[in-house]
Chains A and B, each alone.
Chain A
Amino acid sequence: MNRVRLIAGDELRLMVRNRVAVIAFVLLVLLTLVAVASSWAHQRANADLRARHAAAADAAFDAQPDRHPHRVVHYGHFIFRPLGPLAAFDPGVDSFTGNSMFLEGHRQNTANFGDVRQSSLLVRFGQLTPAFVLQVVAPLLLVFLGYGALARESERGTLRLLMLQGASRGQVVRGKLLALGIVAVLAGLPAMIGFALIAGQPGALALPMLTIAAGYFAYLALWVVLILAVSALVRRSRDALLVLVALWAVVTVLLPRIMPDVAGAAVPLRNRLQTDVAIARDLRQMGDSHNPDDPHFAAFRQQVLDRYGVTRIEDLPVNYKGLVGMEGERLTTALFDRYAGDSYAAQDRQNALVRAAGIVSPAIAIRTLSMAAAGTDFAGHRRFLEQAEAYRYDLVQRLNRLQAEGVSYADDTAIDPAADRRKRVEAGNWDAMPDFRFVGPSGSALARAALPGLLVVVGWLAAAALLLAFATRRLGDRR
């Protein structure tokens, strides 16, 4: 048996004989199993619930009786974003941003402007998910199991004993790497088993899953290397523990909490109330279709009359009120889109700042990687919002067109007792409206989005490896 394996074997034997280490390891495994089971059950229950609600909302919309189309515009429609299988592994911002929306005419859902968007990439600390266990808890276990791997040998004089048996510095370090690497693999195994179960689900995409697996592998390898580098550089194991726990606290807890606040302060974002007030103000200035003296709508009216070659709206072959509804929706949607665009741009700048913080915190990098590959990051939420808004606009304009073409202007403006019945269109029209279908990103798009985080983690791993190589050369020297 070669020296590396002998040294690794003895390190593992020490861990097995250390009851605290065994208990800590068992606790981690239990914690991971609970996280996998609860996330899985939660995700399945949510997915079922959303599917049921989506079907019920579609059925309720389609089952509306004969109605005036504009009433349907305000009847609204609930839509739901289906959860991808990887959301069970890393729910990301899903629990905070929500996945259901109420759509109606004249307004965008103000979820687009909710305060929850503030730096929403990384503040989600503390959910018990397999991703959280691997990002935060597993490194702490590795720290407690590995801090003394080399420092203890130096401190007790056994490092020289190893070297005196002919083991080189490199063999000693590689032996410790192998031992702690095995522990890291075992620590990550329950989460990866959960991951494999997810992989068996329909809709799971291979490329993002491989990216996630590679990312967590590199992340845990980084901790293993970093722990041994610190253990080799300090003289006492107590000092190694102190340095590593401080590093863990800063990198995995403190920075991921602070950086979103820093980003929020650097790129301020309007809150929902401010946005609502600003939009209401702009809407007032935009024009009033009911005011015959409103310059925009007066010009619009003239433009319509000219197009159809008539002088009165009563002579139009289509219902002018429907056309006004379409124009009003176009205007308000453009206004909402402008606010949404500004907000998205600010959020992009915030998120870019937080992503850049991955350079000082690999935990931030692995979180961005994990959420991006799982499709549960803010980009995933934004994708849902944008598709929902596109669907809302299309639906409302279809209804406005139905009003313009299916209800005559005379009937629409009549007030006789039978007018209400004449204003209605057949219920079959509702069923003809398309249902909302969320189109998820492709596997390659998700993997591409996760790539920057992966590069940062790999960069950290390379830097840690260089540090360990430097520490290895100094190992056992008189200091």
Chain B
Amino acid sequence: MTEPAAPILIQDLHLAYGAHRVLDGLSLAVPAASITALLGGNGAGKSTTLAALLGFVRAGSGRIAVNGIDPGADPDGARRQIAYLPENVALYEHLTAVENADYLLALSGERHERGAITDALTGAGLQDRAWDQRLGGFSKGMRQKVAIAVALLRQVPVLLLDEPTSGLDPRATADFNALVSAVRDRGTAVLMVTHDLLSAADVADRIAFLEAGRVAHEADASGPDRFDVRALHARFQAGGQVAA
């Protein structure tokens, strides 16, 4: 019996912007119902990895698949498999929180009753008085909660997170991590790009260090190979020079 393919699968991926080589043989697999944190220094290729998964950049060589779909060949098809939470959440300021969620979910082919949307907003931590306010006056954290609610409501096999806890206080970070764990528990493959090592250690099942466009080190959250946060932190502080 063959093991099902991981919803996020990257094999020997090479990608360059002109002469600048960004990904250089990157291989990574994120199985269903798991969270992988992708760490690395600035310029290590984390954002490019997400962009390649989202089909916004095309790889030079190697294999990349989102739930079996090559985002380079079928970006629209790949995106339909993904819920994505960018670092700087972009939403529509002329719409209320509920309208934003309703519009984005409808675009992705899903219709939810208002009750389901407000439940998700509540689950994301947005207070009920903000549900029907336009986003013009929302803080970054409030916008992020709306985006999280949309991501929670989307029934997709892949969730990509780009610096999700950036700018959040510890309490909000803990709440967020709980939400991500809940998403993972319903079978979603979660890839989280972050600089927040503590948060990664708190929520991730696996942690991967990206260095010069390839995974230099991977560690499990449990078992004999489970990672040591202190050791990882020390290595991270050293500029990502991680020994294999």
Contacts and interface: CB of A to CB of B under 8 A. Distances in A.
Interface of A: 1, 3, 6-7, 10, 13-14, 17-18, 156-158, 160-168, 476, 478
Contacts of B106: 1, 6
Contact of A160 (B90, B92, B109): B90
Given A6-B103, A6-B106, A6-B107, A164 B54 contact: yes
16 contacts: A3-B107, A6-B107, A10-B95, A13-B95, A17-B94, A157-B86, A157-B90, A158-B91, A161-B104, A162-B107, A164-B54, A164-B79, A164-B84, A167-B76, A168-B76, A476-B56
Contacts of A158: 90-92
A13 B94 contact: yes
Contacts of A162: 107
A31 to B, nearest CB: 26
In terms of DSSP, what is the predominant structure of the interface of chain B?
Answer: loop
Contacts of A10: 92, 95, 103
Contacts of A14: 92, 94
Interface in B48-99: 54, 56-57, 75-76, 79-80, 82, 84, 86, 88, 90-92, 94-95
Most chain-B CB neighbours within 10 Å: which of A17, A161, A163? A161
Contact of B79 (A1, A7, A13, A163): A163
Contacts of B105: 165
A166 B79 contact: yes
A4 to B, nearest CB: 10
Nearest to B17: A478
Interface residues of B, number: 23
Given A6-B103, A161-B91, 6 more contacts: A3-B107, A10-B103, A18-B94, A156-B90, A157-B90, A160-B54
Contacts of A13: 94-95
Most chain-B CB neighbours within 10 Å: which of A7, A18, A165, A476? A165
A146 to B, nearest CB: 15
Most chain-A CB neighbours within 10 Å: which of B86, B103, B107, B109? B107
B108 interface: yes
A163 B86 CA distance: 13
Interface of B: 54, 56-57, 75-76, 79-80, 82, 84, 86, 88, 90-92, 94-95, 103-109
A288 B86 CA distance: 96
A160 B107 contact: no
A166 B90 contact: no
B135 to A, nearest CB: 11
Contacts of A164: 54, 79, 82, 84
A470 to B, nearest CB: 19
Nearest to B105: A165
Nearest to B81: A166
A165 B91 contact: no
A165 B57 contact: no
A422 B94 CA distance: 92
B103 A160 contact: no
Query: 3 tightest CB-CB pairs across the interface, nearest first?
Result: A157-B90, A165-B107, A166-B80
Contacts of A168: 76
Given A1-B106, A3-B107, A165-B108, A160 B94 contact: no
A165 B56 contact: no
A157 B92 CA distance: 10
Contacts of A160: 54, 56, 86, 90
B104 to A, nearest CB: 5
Nearest to B134: A17
Contacts of A7: 107
B80 A478 contact: no
B108 to A, nearest CB: 4
Contacts of B79: 163-166
Contacts of B107: 3, 6-7, 162, 165-167
A165 B104 contact: yes
A19 to B, nearest CB: 11
Contact of B90 (A1, A18, A161, A167): A161
Contacts of A165: 79, 104-105, 107-108
Nearest to B150: A165
Contacts of A17: 94
A165 to B, nearest CB: 4
Contacts of B90: 156-158, 160-161
B150 to A, nearest CB: 9
Contacts of B86: 157, 160
Contacts of B109: 166
Contacts of A6: 103, 106-107
